[in-house]
Amino acid sequence: MNDQIQDFFEKSLVENHIDNELYQTYSVKKGLRNEDGTGVLVGLTKISDVVGYKIQDGEKTDDYGSLYYRGINVEDIINGQRKEKRYLFEEVCFLILFGYLPSYDEFEKFKKVLSDRYELPPHYLEANILGFPAKNLMNKLQQEVLMLYGYDDDPDNTSIIETLNKGIDLLAKIPSIVCYTYQTKVHYFDEKSLVIHHVQKDLSIAETILSLLRNDGKFTQKEAEALDIALVLHADHGGGNNSTFTNVVISSTGTDIYSSVAGAIGSLKGPRHGGANLAVKKQMENVIEEISLDATDDQIKMIINRILDKDFNDGSGLVYGIGHAVYTLSDPRSKMLSQICEELAIEKGRHQEYLFYKRFGEIAVQEIYQRKGIHVCTNVDFYSGLVYNMLNIPSDLYTLLFVVARTVGWIAHNVENKLYSNRIIRPATKYVGTLKDYQPVEKRK
């Protein structure tokens, strides 16, 4: 930072300090959170329900977590579909978008609607991706989503049907954009061979991602199943999560769907939201390097306490992958991802690594409770990075895969808000500064 700018900034901190007590004086909820950590209600939804605690007699009580899509427990969806092992994410997309489970014929038609839209517009790849490599792929994806605005004959049409139509088009195209932008990045900046595969309409979205990322285009059934389940678990998480709320706030102004989704991607980029899985990956790499996979429980306790004491990892005092804003006793997504993670680890010969993760998570939960007296749990980010790593998915793409999955949730909440609220979202802020007289610049000291 420029020294002069630094001086201005430090003076501004003195001039404009807001005392923490003022938040209580004016009943302002920091981060839209109540005193007990629960979220301030800002809307109504029938899309998904995130259950992590109970409210009894006005008090928050810890509970085991559940996640529901359109009233159906996600655990039931995954366990009930494991035999088919394909297109589970697509079925969840239909459920989230339209609110009911499709018949066989309806589902076949919906899959075709999606696969028919896999292809990017003519010459789009050459004109917008191959010729414009970017080091930050989340920023690049924002650009590409906005670029698709120019390929839409009626981009500013925000009717319900057009929002759905354009949203489904984005849902189908974002996976290939993600893969192609990555291949372009490593070609230009890492000087690796450029490998571009054409999309295949007979593949699911999970299969499409694996086939586009790999030089030989091949993958195992278990690999595709693992990625499919990971996408399902990231598809939606209520209307209050940051990126979904950002998308709805932007959409409430009446702007186009491309702007709304691009804004949501920007929100998801942050390490407090979609980027958390990368923080877990780095943390666990550091831990394993320090104490090895053969570490005893006591050694794991020691390293966790060092993290909590800000004496290890990034000095933040946070054990990444442990704890959640809503879930207390358990995160159902972590539980389900842990199951497929172990199956994949066995197939990959990395079961010892999985077992280390599991021990680390269990001990971290215990240590945090002993030190702070609060119930926490492993969250979905704790295992997602390990799953992606075993799928040979580059870390650059971890957060982008979150975008691939969460796009359907953004579209559904966008549509729901248009249907049943349809007002610009405009919360208020309280001015707590002092009133001052204006003085011409020549009279200022």
Q: Rounded to an integer, what distance in angstroms lies between the CA atom of residue 394 and that of residue 184? A: 13
**187 carries an active-site annotation:** no
What is the 8-class DSSP label of residue 102? P
Quote the tokens at residue 223.
Answer: 């690999």
- Kind and range of the H or E element at 68? strand 59-69
From the list 324, 351, 413, 437, the catalytic residue is 324
Q: What's the rounded Cα separation, in Å, for the pair 281 and 230?
A: 16
Phi and psi angles of residue 367, each rounded to the nearest 5 degrees, phi first: -65, -40
Q: Which of 228, 237, 381, 413 is catalytic?
A: 381
Locus of tokens 């972590």: 334
Q: Residue 206 and residue 243: Cα distance in Å, rounded?
A: 22
How far does CA 125 lie from the centroid of its chain?
Answer: 25
Phi, psi (degrees; rounded to nearest 5) at 5:
-60, -40
Which two structure tokens, joined as six digits, stand for 313? 């990892």
Residue 164's CB is within 10 A of a number of other CB atoms, namely: 18
Is-catalytic flag, 381? yes
**Pairing outcome for strands 48-56 and 72-73:** unpaired
Q: In what order do the strands lie in the sheet with 48-56?
A: 48-56, 59-69, 72-73
Positions annotated as catalytic residues are 324, 381
